[in-house]
């Protein structure tokens, strides 16, 4: 009788254990059959292995978490978990796990379950052994849970337990940089300055996903900046140099941020927005009636700032500090987001010209506007029988509830325009929920890759590639009428993930300007002096491999911004979409 037939036999007592063996053997047969075939099959293989381990965990937990579980029951759950470990340690599964974070983490989770099951079984020795093996997996652990969770109380006093916890703390400290999180001072020590630059350099070297786009010798840049940081005379000047350092990476998701207590000394801005249009700088938005009352209104041209021609001012005082993936995003950051930034106590001196040619000087305070109005996260209105849904971010958690409440109105329209022109991103799942109501079929999100440093056998980076995930359509809401998507250079990050999915599912035309060209998963960390930084650790692509990071997502129907449209209060992008949906 072969092993499959034996496992099917009712003469073997532990049926739940047998089920686990059947699953594991079937999965192994499947995995071996996949050896050396396509990426799609390889993806199926790791998912099968992942689910096999997860099912074992569920089966075991169902047993040992049952009230009044007998000792024999708990032993049965322990056997299931050991078989899961054997499965995860098999050569093919280990090979798959080397390229997949999620599968690799299953061993750690199974050992965690083994600790609990052995504690319930009053087997202190096996619980400690499982704890030590869990620590050997090299994953990140929540140390406080080991020190406070009551489930570990029976083994917490053992010296072996304490030794493992101490080892985990030291390992965690290596990656949390707590010792480098020094307090803010007017000026930092030379050691702190060098440490901060070195931390930025090392985080990028081992985690940055877009070095191919940056096209720089990173070690040489680090050496070039060492004398620059040690030569600074204040923490503000030091952080400016750090910002210029990370700007060399040419990545909008890799940034340096000032300590919170110093931010108002460099980043205070009046409630207005500007933009570079046809080579000139214009005020495009004013978010305060009191500021409007001083004569600051959209359509005014900015000629100079603090006595310097505006283009020279921007390129000398703003642009060098901006981390940007594309020329269009660099333009937005320079001329829209940070052009008017500066010390909160210091008014900004503007030279302005109106459409009639009158020119004057005006000082504008950077703070003190009690009537500052923020843009709504989501709003909806109608243009005839066409709906116009504006979503200005994917951060506000109320967007989901608001969208669902608006859907009956949206569903009554003949066509829909979704406007994400000023959407700087947030959480993908908010955007994907909205997209799930626009289709009755599953749709794909972005494919992506994550860099991983390896020292053996050859020192360098290798890629962990992940296929695009599928999102299921909403089972209650479905909008089946024509849709257009408005995009711009300010469409960024999670809003670009939204645009990629919309574009790939062929739901409608995109209208406007090329997007910012930056998305991914940033890794945040603290810096000496109380500041923060982040480095992009994930490179996204279209599901078919098409690149958009460092490029931008191009509209199907391009619409250029013009001075004439601004002065005439004309939204040509919106009107183009309205006309398009009439056809």
From first to last of its 583 residues, the chain has per-residue pLDDT tens of 333 233 333 333 344 444 444 454 444 444 444 433 444 455 568 888 999 999 999 999 999 999 889 999 999 999 999 999 999 999 989 888 876 778 888 999 999 999 999 999 999 999 999 999 998 887 656 777 888 888 899 999 999 999 998 988 888 777 777 888 899 999 999 999 999 999 999 999 999 999 999 989 999 999 999 999 999 999 999 999 999 999 999 999 999 999 999 999 999 999 999 999 999 999 999 999 999 999 999 999 999 999 999 999 999 999 999 999 999 999 999 999 999 999 999 999 999 999 999 999 999 999 999 999 999 999 999 999 999 999 999 999 899 999 999 999 999 999 999 999 999 999 999 999 999 999 999 999 999 999 988 887 778 888 888 889 999 999 999 999 999 999 999 999 999 999 999 999 999 999 999 999 999 999 999 999 999 999 999 999 999 999 999 999 999 999 999 999 999 999 999 999 999 999 6
Tell me whether residue 205 is in a domain. no
Distance (Å) of CA 179 to CA 17, 172, 182, 194, 266: 48, 12, 7, 14, 26
Tell me whether residue 246 is in a domain. no
* Count of domains for the chain: 3
What confidence score (pLDDT) does residue 136 get?
Answer: 87
Q: Are residues 131 and 36 in the same domain?
A: yes
Which structural domain, as residue segments, surrounds residue 64?
A: 3-176
Distance (Å) of CA 446 to CA 237, 280, 496, 501, 538: 39, 36, 10, 7, 11
Dump strand ranges (E) for 144-279: 255-257, 272-277
Give me the CATH number covering residue 309.
2.30.42.10
Query: Which residues are 470's β-sheet partners?
Result: 444
Tell me whether residue 235 is in a domain. no
Tell me whether residue 231 is in a domain. no
Would you give the DSSP letter of residue 485? E
Q: Are residues 405 and 334 in the same domain?
A: no
Would you give the DSSP letter of residue 460? E
Query: Measuring CA to CA, which residue among 250, 233, 116 is closest to residue 518?
Result: 250
- Centre a 10 Å sphere on the Cβ of residue 32 and count the other Cβ atoms it contains: 12
Tokens for 87, please give them.
């499965």
Angle of CA points 130, 131, 135, to nearest 5°: 115
Query: Measuring CA to CA, which residue among 23, 90, 102, 31 is closest to residue 59?
Result: 23
Give the three-state DSSP class for 301.
Answer: strand
Query: Measuring CA to CA, which residue among 466, 477, 394 is closest to residue 431?
Result: 394
Tell me whether residue 240 is in a domain. no
Query: Measuring CA to CA, which residue among 126, 85, 20, 175 is closest to residue 526?
Result: 175
Question: What does the alpha-carbon distance between residue 281 and residue 352 come to, in Å, rounded to a whole number?
Answer: 10
Q: Is 357 exposed, middle or buried (0-12, 13-18, 19+ CB in 10 A)?
A: exposed
Would you give the DSSP letter of residue 517? -
- Contact assessment for residue 404 and residue 477, using Cβ atoms and an 8 Å cutoff: yes
Q: Are residues 289 and 429 in the same domain?
A: no
Question: What does the alpha-carbon distance between residue 44 and residue 21 come to, in Å, rounded to a whole number?
Answer: 20
Domain ends where: 129, 153, 176?
176
Q: Are residues 53 and 165 in the same domain?
A: yes
Q: Are residues 397 and 350 in the same domain?
A: no
Question: What does the alpha-carbon distance between residue 73 and residue 67 come to, in Å, rounded to a whole number?
Answer: 11
- Centre a 10 Å sphere on the Cβ of residue 508 and count the other Cβ atoms it contains: 22
- Contact assessment for residue 471 and residue 446, using Cβ atoms and an 8 Å cutoff: no
Q: Are residues 352 and 280 in the same domain?
A: yes
Q: Are residues 64 and 166 in the same domain?
A: yes
Tell me whether residue 228 is in a domain. no
Tell me whether residue 107 is in a domain. yes
Residue 142's Cα: distance from chain center in Å? 21
Question: What does the alpha-carbon distance between residue 273 and residue 514 come to, in Å, rounded to a whole number?
Answer: 20
Question: What does the alpha-carbon distance between residue 535 and residue 523 come to, in Å, rounded to a whole number?
Answer: 5
Tokens for 128, please give them.
């400690």
Domain ends where: 123, 145, 176?
176
Domain ends where: 364, 391, 419?
364
Which residues, at least 6 apart from 176, have a Cβ–Cβ distance to it below 8 Å?
A: 525
Q: Are residues 329 and 452 in the same domain?
A: no
Tokens for 89, please give them.
């340690």
Q: Are residues 332 and 385 in the same domain?
A: no
Give me the CATH number covering residue 412.
3.90.226.10
Q: Are residues 444 and 324 in the same domain?
A: no
H helix runs in 65-189, sequence order: 71-88, 91-97, 101-120, 124-135, 143-148, 153-156, 159-176
561-574: burial string, b at 16+ Cβ within 10 Å, e else: beeebbeeeeebbb
Q: Is 125 exposed, middle or buried (0-12, 13-18, 19+ CB in 10 A)?
A: exposed
Question: What does the alpha-carbon distance between residue 9 and residue 339 come to, in Å, rounded to a whole number?
Answer: 76
Query: Measuring CA to CA, which residue among 86, 91, 4 is closest to residue 52?
Result: 86
Pairing mode, strands 386-391 and 508-512:
unpaired
pTM above 0.85, yes or no: no
Q: Are residues 360 and 382 in the same domain?
A: no
Tell me whether residue 407 is in a domain. yes
Q: Are residues 418 and 348 in the same domain?
A: no
């Amino acid at each position: 009788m072969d092993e499959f037939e034996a496992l099917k036999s009712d003469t073997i007592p532990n049926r739940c254990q047998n089920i686990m063996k059947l699953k594991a053997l079937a999965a192994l047969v499947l995995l071996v059959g996949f050896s050396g075939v396509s990426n799609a099959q390889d993806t199926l293989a790791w998912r099968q292995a992942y689910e096999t381990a997860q099912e074992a965990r569920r089966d075991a937990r169902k047993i040992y978490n049952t009230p009044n579980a007998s000792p024999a029951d708990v032993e049965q759950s322990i056997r299931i978990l050991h078989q899961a470990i054997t499965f995860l340690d098999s050569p093919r599964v280990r090979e798959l796990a080397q390229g997949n974070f999620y599968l690799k983490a299953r061993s750690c989770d199974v050992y965690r379950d083994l600790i609990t099951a052995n504690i319930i079984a009053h087997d202190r020795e096996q619980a400690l052994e499982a704890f030590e093996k869990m620590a050997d997996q090299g994953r990140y652990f929540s140390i406080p849970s080991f020190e406070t969770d009551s489930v570990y109380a029976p083994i917490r006093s053992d010296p072996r337990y304490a030794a493992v916890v101490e080892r985990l703390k030291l390992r965690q400290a290596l990656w949390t940089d707590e010792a480098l999180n020094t307090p803010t001072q007017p000026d930092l020590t030379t050691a702190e300055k060098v440490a901060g630059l070195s931390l930025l350099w090392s985080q990028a070297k081992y985690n940055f996903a877009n070095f191919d786009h940056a096209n720089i010798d990173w070690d040489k840049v680090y050496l070039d900046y060492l004398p620059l940081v040690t030569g600074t005379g204040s923490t503000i000047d030091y952080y400016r140099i750090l910002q210029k350092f990370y700007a060399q990476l040419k990545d909008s998701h890799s940034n340096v941020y000032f300590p919170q207590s110093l931010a108002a000394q460099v980043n205070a801005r009046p409630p207005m927005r500007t933009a570079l249009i046809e080579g000139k700088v214009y005020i495009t938005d004013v978010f305060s009636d009191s500021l409007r009352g001083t004569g600051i209104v959209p359509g005014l041209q900015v000629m100079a700032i603090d006595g310097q021609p505006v283009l020279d001012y921007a390129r000398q005082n703003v642009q060098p500090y901006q981390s940007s993936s594309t020329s269009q995003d660099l333009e937005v950051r320079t001329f829209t987001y940070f052009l008017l930034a500066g010390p909160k106590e210091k008014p900004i001196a503007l030279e302005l010209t109106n459409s009639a040619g009158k020119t004057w000087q005006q000082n504008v305070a950077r703070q003190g506007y009690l009537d500052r109005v923020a843009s709504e996260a989501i709003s909806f209105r109608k243009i005839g029988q066409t709906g116009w849904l504006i979503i200005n971010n994917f951060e506000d958690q109320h967007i989901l509830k608001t969208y669902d409440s608006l859907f009956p109105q949206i569903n009554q329209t003949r066509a829909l325009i979704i406007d994400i022109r000023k959407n700087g991103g947030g959480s993908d799942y908010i955007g994907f929920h909205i997209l799930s109501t626009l289709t009755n079929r599953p749709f794909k999100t972005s494919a992506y890759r994550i860099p991983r440093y390896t020292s053996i056998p050859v020192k360098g980076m290798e890629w962990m590639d992940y296929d695009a995930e599928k999102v299921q359509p909403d089972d209650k809401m479905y909008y089946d009428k024509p849709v257009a998507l408005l995009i711009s250079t300010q469409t960024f990050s999670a809003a670009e993930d939204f645009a990629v999915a919309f574009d790939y599912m062929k739901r409608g035309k995109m209208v406007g300007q090329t997007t910012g060209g930056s998305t991914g998963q940033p890794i945040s960390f603290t810096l000496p002096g109380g500041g923060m930084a982040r480095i992009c650790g994930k490179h996204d692509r279209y599901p078919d491999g098409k690149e958009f990071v460092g490029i931008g997502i191009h509209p199907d129907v391009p619409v250029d911004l013009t001075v004439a449209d601004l002065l005439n209060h004309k939204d040509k992008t919106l009107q183009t979409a309205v006309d398009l949906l009439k056809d």
